[in-house]
Each structure stands twice: as C-alpha cells, then as structure tokens.
Structure 1
Amino acid sequence: MTHSIKSATAETAVRGENRTVLVFGATGQQGGAVASELLSRGWSVRALVRDPSAETAKRLGDLGTTVVAGDLADAASVRSAMRGAYGVFSVQPSSGQGAAYGVTDEQEVRYGKTVADLALAEGVRHLVYTSIAVSGAGPTGMGHFDSKMDIENHVRGLDLCSTIVRPTTFMELLLLPGMGLDQGAYTFFLRPDQTGQIIAVRDIGRIVAAVFADAERFAGRTIEIAGDEVTGRTLGEALARAAGRPIAYQRFPDALLADNAFLGRIASLMDEGRLGANADISGLEREFGALTRFPEWLAGPGQPLLRAAMETERATIALR
C-alpha cells in the first residue's frame, strides 16, 4: 500500500511569502527526511553544515538544497544562516549518540536554546523543534532525554510561533548492525507482550512538512508522533517474515540491564510507560494521513538495513 501524508501545499499555506526553511541536521536522519520532504513540496531549503565539501553535503546540494557553512557552536554562523528564513527546523546532535559526536548534555541544551533565541531575534515565522517521546513530570534520569525537555520548556517560554514534535523510536534504529539477527535472534527493550511505538524517519519528514505548511493550525502544539504500535513478539514476527527465516525475539537479559545503567534506565522508562508509547496513531492519521507500519517499512526502505543487520556480528555493537 502506498502511504501519504495530507497537508496543504507550501503555496497555499504561505501564499505570497518567503518559503525558505533552514534545516539543522540535514545530513542526518531527521533533518535529511525533513529537507527531502520540504523540497518535494516546493519549499526552498537551506542547510547548515560544518563541511560543505563533505559528500553528504554535496548530495544535499545536488537535490536542490542551499548548503551554508556553519556550526552550532558558532552563534554568528547560525544567525547568518537563519537570516531571511520563514521557518527553522531545529534538531541538535544528542549526547546520547556517543562520544563520536563530542556533544555533552549541556552543549545540546545550549545549542537548542541558541537556535530558538536566534529564531526569535531574526523574526522567523515558525520554529519546529524535534524532541523525544518521553512523558510524565520530573526528570527521567537520562541526561540526553532531560536535555530535550529543557529545550522544550525554553521554546515554549519565547514569544515565537513554534511547534514541538516528539517522535518515538525510529524504525531505522531497530536495525543497527550487531543486534544478533545474524544468529537468528533479535534483542530489544520490550518484553514479548509489552507494547511500544515506533516511527519511520520518512514519516517524521512528512509530518514536519505538513506542520510548516499550516503554522496557524499547529502553533503552540506539542505532538507525540508514531507510526506503528508493536510488542516484542510482533517485532520478532515481522522480522522473521521479512528475513524469510525464524527469528527468536528476546528482551535484553535482566543481568545485562542490571549491569549497564544506560540500558537499564531505558528499560525502566519503558516499563513505567514514560518512553515511546503515548502517541494517538489513529488521531495522527486523521490529521496527517496514513503512516508507515513496520512490515511495510521492512519490505521497502528497511530492506538494505535488514540485510546489513543479518550479516553483521553482534560483537560490533557498542553499548554506551
């Protein structure tokens, strides 16, 4: 089945106005999906990148994106890239992505707040900030989750048209190499009968593009977004069908969760119902159109990721 996201076009939503959106993280998953979808809908897209000569940046340019050099750590370059833009899509490198990104929790918060403050100063008409699907009052105990809550609160406190989207776990992240699929097994945080929600990155792009197309409708809203609801067991079943071989599902062993504070806290947040299971998928589909289900994703854009995961040994995965 072909799925689509309903929205007004950029032309009808922002008739006669500047239709340029500055996209942060355009060489990454979320930013890349947003940039691609905006371009397909007739928006002009500007991307801030640290190295315009990098292959990922060149590919953006080939697609029609205006690539500008800058760095989130350099507020002047951010402000220059933002000047004259109608909208800004804000996503920052997360400290939870590991040391390779060189970002601390404090830096992530500072970058997110700087983007919002400069959007206000430059007269940006609509800021869309992408956060994470964590619910409930109080801190989670996970720095790279709580950092996003801090940025959310700052954005809400500004006199600025803004929308916050909270995506749940990406389908793309379920197939990181080394998850044991090469051994006929799949390990994740959910218990076999425990419910969780997931989303295809391309649907994040489609939803965000629809939000930009109708600022009046979405101003001030915080939207939990997911495209499918699964259990540990149905994850394993979908993977087995797509792989054409038996896949035994199992939750991360209790001993591992007890020994690894990072993994253990994520599992606890899922058990508490605070992480990634709160989106109204039916409501989202009424508002944005049909969303991608996991089996459909596996049969399409997930195919190369599944093949790679089935060929990569478990030992290659790095646990933070």
Structure 2
Amino acid sequence: MKIAVFGATGRVGSYVTTIALEAGWQVKALVRTPEKTTQKTPEPEVIKGDIFDKHLVEKTIAGCDAVFVGLGTDKTNTLSTSAPHIVAAMKKHGVMKAVIIGTAGILDSRHQPGKYRFETPESKRKTTTAAEEHLKAYQIWKASGLEWTYVCPTYLPDGEPTGEVRYEADLLPEDGTKITVGDTARFAFRVLHDNQFVRQRIGICY
C-alpha cells in the first residue's frame, strides 16, 4: 500500500505517517520543511513544496493507492484552496480513496436538525472560523464523487492511544469531550486500511 500524505509534519499527520511506515506501507509526503519530518527508519518519500502548488500535489499523488489529508486551518483558507487540487489529482491518477481529518464542528447537530454542531451550543468553541473553513473543504469533497471519509475528532489533546474510541456516523457520540492525537491517528489509519465509512463523516471521542 502506498499513500500520499498532506500534513505529514502536523500532529495527526506525523503520527499516521509513522504508523503507516511501521506497517510496511510506502509514504509520499508533500511538506514545506522536510527537516521537520521525524520519521527516520524507514523514511517517507518527501517532496518539498507547498500544498497550493497543484503540480506538486499531483506529483505527490501519482503512483499512490490512497490519500491522507491532515492539514490544519491556521486561520487561513488552506483547506478549501488545496482540496480542489487534491481532488483533481486523484481523479487524474485514478486514486479513489481519501481519509481527511476534520473537526467535530462539521458534524450534524444532535439537537437541532438541519444545523452543523458549530452553528449550535453543542460546540464549545469560542470562534467558528476553523469550522467554517473545514466545512468549505468538506463540501468540495462531498461533491467530488471520490471515496472519501471525514474523521472528525472533538477536542484533540496530545497523547498516546488508549484503544477505547467511540464513533458514530455524522454525529459526535453523546457526552464525548476529547480524544488524543494518538487515537485519532490510529482510527484514521484503520479507515485507510479498510473500506468502512465511505462517503461519511465519522465523529470520534472517548
């Protein structure tokens, strides 16, 4: 299995990259600063560049079997700007499967049908900026026709996996308050590995 990773130096992306390499998978990663990659043995195939460069995005995806996207928003339009490049490259090279890390804010509201969580008091975030950017990217993936899965963690502290993850399609499991980076990464890798949850948002928490 060979995967293209976008966000390989991020918290979840670096963890997914390590898990994939340890499982014997090949990894191609597009990163702005290759020196930030922490995986040493085995090493991923690193392409230096920017996610906004559609030619480098295509180069990263070429020859891969699936795509993992673990990009952050950083109060920018990174997600919604890069998503069309990734989708177009996947279609060009016949790569159907993608797993994207989102946010619980773009899951459906449990108590106010027709709204996203970030539009209701269910979300405890003081600002909706990040969720709105995630939503723009989600809508691009939703219309793509590809076999995408959005993994949507709630509050995401650093930490190792515990293995006790609750999940639900389109909703955050009730009373979910957090999930570690480690468990989020392991759940995402599980989705990359199998064919569950195609074209679904999956809320995850403890």
Contact 1:90 1:115 in 2 (8 A): no
SS in 1 for 2:150: strand
Q: CA deviation at 1:61?
A: 4.3
Contact 1:116 1:127 in 2 (8 A): no
Q: Which residue of 2 aligns with 1:312?
A: none
Contact 1:36 1:205 in 2 (8 A): no
**1:266-296 C-alpha deviation (Å, 9 max, x unpaired):** xxxxxxxxxxxxxxxxxxxxxxxxxxxxxxx
Contact 1:61 1:67 in 2 (8 A): no
Q: 1:93 aligns with which of 72, 92, 99?
A: 72
Q: 2:142 aligns with which of 156, 175, 184?
A: 156
Q: CA deviation at 1:81?
A: 1.1
Q: CA deviation at 1:196?
A: 4.9
**1:199-233 C-alpha deviation (Å, 9 max, x unpaired):** 11111111111111112x3322211011x2xxxxx
Q: Which residue of 1 aligns with 2:158?
A: 172
Q: TM-score, normalised by structure 1?
A: 0.51
SS in 2 for 1:197: coil
Q: CA deviation at 1:127?
A: 0.6
In 2, Cα distance between equivalents of 1:151 and 1:46: 22
Q: Which residue of 2 aligns with 1:5?
A: none
Gaps of 5+ in 1: 1-18, 97-103, 174-194, 229-320
RMSD: 2.0
Does 2:177 correspond to 1:197? yes
The 5 Å alignment of 1:30-45 reads: 30-45=12-27
Contact 1:120 1:159 in 2 (8 A): no
Gaps of 5+ in 2: 110-114, 120-126, 160-174
Q: Which residue of 1 aligns with 2:53?
A: 74
Q: Percent identity?
A: 26
Equivalent position amino acid for 1:68 in 2: I
Contact 2:68 2:100 in 1 (8 A): yes
SS in 2 for 1:26: coil
Q: CA deviation at 1:107?
A: 3.7
In 1, Cα distance between equivalents of 2:132 and 2:200: 19
Contact 1:130 1:165 in 2 (8 A): yes
Larger radius of gyration, structure 1 or 2?
1
Q: 1:64 aligns with which of 43, 55, 70?
A: 43
Does 2:189 correspond to 1:209? yes
Does 2:128 correspond to 1:128? no
Q: TM-score, normalised by structure 2?
A: 0.77
Equivalent position amino acid for 1:119 in 2: M
Aligned length: 176
Equivalent position amino acid for 2:16 in 1: V
Q: CA deviation at 1:123?
A: 1.3
Q: CA deviation at 1:25?
A: 1.1
**1:112-157 C-alpha deviation (Å, 9 max, x unpaired):** 3322232222211311111100133267462211111111111111
**1:48-101 C-alpha deviation (Å, 9 max, x unpaired):** 11133x2x22x32444212121211211111111101101101223134xxxxx
